[in-house]
Amino acid sequence: MMAPNKGPSLVYQILEIHLIYLGWSPTYWMNLINQNPFPI
């Protein structure tokens, strides 16, 4: 098993990658919102 402190940092790294590479893409965000059953 990974150390507990590795979990959150990995999540943050993934989110950061999404923001850097996909945050500028309107199509990506529209697809994400359309696939999300909960309103944002």
Q: How far apart are CA 24 and CA 19, in angstroms?
A: 8
Q: What is the pLDDT of residues 1-40, one digit of tens each?
A: 455 556 678 877 877 777 777 666 677 777 777 776 555 4
Q: Taking the complete model, does pTM exceed 0.75, yes or no?
A: no
Token couple for 36: 């999300």
Please report how many Cα atoms fall inside a 13 Å half-sphere around the Cα of residue 11, on the Cβ side. 4
CA distances (Å), origin 3, targets 8, 10, 30, 33:
10, 11, 35, 32
